[in-house]
Structures are given as structure tokens and as C-alpha cells.
Amino acid sequence: MEKNYHVCTGCGLLCDDIEVESENNIVNKVYTACRVGVAHMKEARRGEADFLVDNKPVDEATAISEAASILKNARNPLIFGLGTSTSETQKIAIELAKKINATLDDTSSFCLGPLAEALIQDKLKTCTLDDVRNKADVIIYWGTDPSDSHPRLLSKHSYFPRGTEKQRGWEEERTAIAIDVRKSHTAKICGNYFFQIPPKGDAEFIDAMIAGLSGKLPKTSYNYPPKKILELANILKGAKFGVMFVGRGLIYSLENLEPLFKLMEILNEKANFHLIPMVSSSNTMGFNENLFAETGYVNSVKFENGTAKHGPEYSVVESLKAKSVDAALIIGSDPLLFLPGSIAKNMLEIPVISMDHCETLTSKHSKVYINTAINGVEAGGSSIRMDRVKMSFEPVIETNHLSEEVILKKIMEAL
Ligand code: SF4
């Protein structure tokens, strides 16, 4: 019987206080984690076979050689996924993409990529989750419902916990504010500080907040009560250490990030405000950072003779829509499930290699499927938390399944 602290890779928070009881390489009990983390560590569903080609079981050598042959024969292969992969795996995937002149992308090209890029380029003031716990007195959750998506954000990292400069914890020393189009679970916790706006109303609400912060009358076309916006502006102006957690709801609603840049600038003229993106997967931020370090771009690149081209046409959505890719290596992702059907169906016309620890819609329609070790449970490495802090972890249990890192190295060797 073993009992140790582990890092949970169930979401971008990478909680590092997880206790696990395991026996004979089976996780029996998970303590401290939220329900998502428990499911991730304990109930991960495994595919039935380790290696499949055309949905028939094969040995490792056959699967690796088939995968290498697909990539070698492709004119423009796509490598996509990697949001839950370790940074070590991501770096090998970038090398592989370079070697085979591939298009390389992850989900950030249609999620929080622009925000990650702005943070990596130091265009927005940010802080760590430890800073939030220790110092934050005003916390905004905008276009996000962490109570569902990152269940321990409020309890461990932001609103509820005691911190070095916030000994009395929530309510007495912190104000939590939710801005959203619906009354989410997080909005309910924020009570009177929930500001409900109409879909696509975020840019106007930002303008109204800026007006309120600048002592002008805030106006919106949807007639949001000016008094409420002025009350909000007064709370924000009084922040000694404010933080804004920004989710997809806000980013999808804005045409570009300019209104958000402007709001952060004004907030920092009047108070002290930081921004943290609500990155969902355990290492999407790592993908953005690792690719940026190599190419100067955070996603949507096409390698050609060692150099990287970048543009929306190299995103997974546009590449599949235009049918510009002729094979795909999908790592820890299920695009056939979550992309719009009209775009995803084009994947059915090209050979696909799927690497995942469980059977997915994409793996079922793949030419080659490789059943991988679960990152953070069966494979160790490092990931970048959503506040850009590097977290390293050891495997919780041993497995016979190969890690993504080992498989990519074997494919590289077989090319
Ligand atoms: Fe794991 Fe995220 Fe839950 Fe923390 S909040 S235990 S990282 S799933």
C-alpha cells in the first residue's frame, strides 16, 4: 500500500496536493481531488487493444511502421492535439513536425490562443495562483464557470482559501464578481456581484466599465443599469490586488483583444489588476509556450524546410475545411467528436493515426490506433499550469503502455 502526494493533470490547475492509495498498479482511492480529478486518476477508461491497424490488433512494430509510412508518404500531414501531453512530448512533436514538413496546431487556435500569446509576449499583467490565494481582494470570473470546469479554483486558489495576507478568507476580505451571459454555479456563489449581460454584449460592457472607471456615465445599447456599473467600477477602483480570470465566453464574444487590453490599462491606472486565462487542459499553455520558443508563434504553423509559416489557414479547422492536409497524427484529442461535422468529416478521407489512452470517435475511425500511458497517472514529465508555472510530476502507478514521448521517438526513428 502506497500513499503519496501527486499532481492531478485533470485540468489546467494542476493541483499538487493529491493523495492517492494504489495497490498492484491500480488506483483505489483518491483524496483531495475534485470529482473531475478523481475520475481522471481512478476511472480512466482504457481502449481494449494496445495497437490497432484497420481496427485489427497488431504488434507494436507493425503499428509504428504503419504510422511512420503514413507520415512519410504524406505531402502535408497534420499533427494536432497535445493539450494534455507533457512538455517533453510536445517538444518531440515539434521536432517531428519540422522533420516531415507538417502543419501543427492545437485547440488554442479556436479557444484562448490569442490570450496566451498576449501573456507570453508580456502584453498583459499577470500573476501566479499563489499570489491570488495570498493577496487577492477583488476577483472577477468573466465568461467562465470554474465551479464546473476547474472545480478547485474557488476553494484552493482564489475566493475561499486563507492566504498569507488574507487570513480571514472569503467574504470578509475578498469580493468575488461574475460577469456572464447566464447564472452559472460560479455566478450563484458571487451572489449580488453577478452581472448578467446578453450574448455578444461583452465589448459594450467593457466600454461601459471604462466609462464608469473614468467618471463618465456608462451606457449600453441593452440598457444595463448605469448605477450597477458604477458600483462595479467603485469596487474595482478600490482593489489592492485584483485578478481577472478570463474564459472562452469572453474571448469568443470579442472580435479582438483590444477592448480587454484597454480595460486592463485603465484598471491598472486606477488600481492593481492581473489577468489569468482559464486554460482547460493540463498543458495547453505548455504547447503555446513550447511552440512560441521554437517558432515565435503559439499555434497554427506549417513547417517547410526547417522554417515555420503561420496563419489562420494552418489552423486545424481551416486545414481540414480546405482539405489541404492529406494525413493526420492526432495526439490525446478527439477532433472527430468536437469539430463541426461539416469540417470533421473531411478527416474520414485521409489516413489518421490516433494516440490516446482511451477509445474515442477519432480512434475508431483511424487507420492506426496506439493506446498510450495516461499522462500524470502512468507517465511522468512536466506541464505548464494556467498561470504559467511549471509543474513536474512522477507517474502514480506503473504501466505496460508506452508513453506518448516514447511512441513519438519510435515513429521518428522509423521514418
Ligand atoms: Fe484535478 Fe483540476 Fe480538480 Fe485540481 S481542479 S483536482 S487539477 S481536475
Give which of 104, 58, 40, 43 is closest to 366, Cα–Cα.
58
Which residue ranges make up each domain of the chain? 48-111+282-374+400-414, 112-277
Q: Round the CA-based radius of gyration of the chain to a whole number and report it.
A: 22
The predicted structure's pLDDT at residue 356? 95
Taking the whole predicted model, whether its pTM rises above 0.90 is answered as: yes
User: What CA–CA distances, in Å, run from 404 to 61, 66, 316?
Assistant: 15, 16, 20
Q: Are 140 and 243 in contact (CB under 8 A)?
A: yes
Distance CA 114, CA 96 (A): 25
Taking 60 as the threshold, does the pLDDT of residue 174 lie above it? Answer: yes
Termini Cα distance of the chain: 43
Taking 70 as the threshold, does the pLDDT of residue 169 lie above it? Answer: no
Q: For residue range 182-236, list pLDDT tens digits in order.
A: 999 999 999 999 999 999 999 999 999 999 999 999 999 999 999 999 999 999 9
Q: For residue range 55-93, list pLDDT tens digits in order.
A: 999 999 999 999 999 999 999 999 999 999 999 999 999
What spacing in Å lies between the alpha carbon of 270 and ligand 1's midpoint? 34
Per-residue pLDDT band at 47 (split at 50, 70, 90) = low
Per-residue pLDDT band at 240 (split at 50, 70, 90) = very high
Q: Cα 149 to the chain's mean position, in Å? A: 11
Longest dimension (CA), the chain: 70
Give buried/exposed letters for 10-43 (b at 16+ CB in 10 A, else e). Answer: bbbbbbbebebebeeeebeebebbbebbbebbbe
- Please state the atom number of ligand 1 nearest to the C-alpha of residue 152: 5
DSSP-derived secondary structure for 117-175 = HHHHTT-S----HHHHHHH-SEEEEES--HHHHSTTIIIIISSSS-BTTBTT-TTTS-E
- Please state the atom number of ligand 1 nearest to the C-alpha of residue 33: 6
The predicted structure's pLDDT at residue 159? 84
The predicted structure's pLDDT at residue 170? 67
**Which residues lie with the beta carbon below 6 Å from any ligand 1 atom?**
8, 10-11, 13-15, 33-34, 36-37, 150-152
Cell numbers that stand for 363 in this block: 480512434
Q: Could you tell me which CATH number the domain at 48-111+282-374+400-414 has?
A: 3.40.50.740
Mutate to test the pocket of ligand 1, among 9, 36, 133, 154 (most ligand atoms within 8 A of CB): 36
Per-residue pLDDT band at 136 (split at 50, 70, 90) = very high
The predicted structure's pLDDT at residue 46? 62
Helix, strand counts (H, E) of the chain: 17, 19
pLDDT mean across residues, the chain: 95
Mutate to test the pocket of ligand 1, among 6, 9, 40, 375 (most ligand atoms within 8 A of CB): 40
Answer yes or no: CATH 2.60.120.310 is held by domain 112-277: no
The predicted structure's pLDDT at residue 168? 76
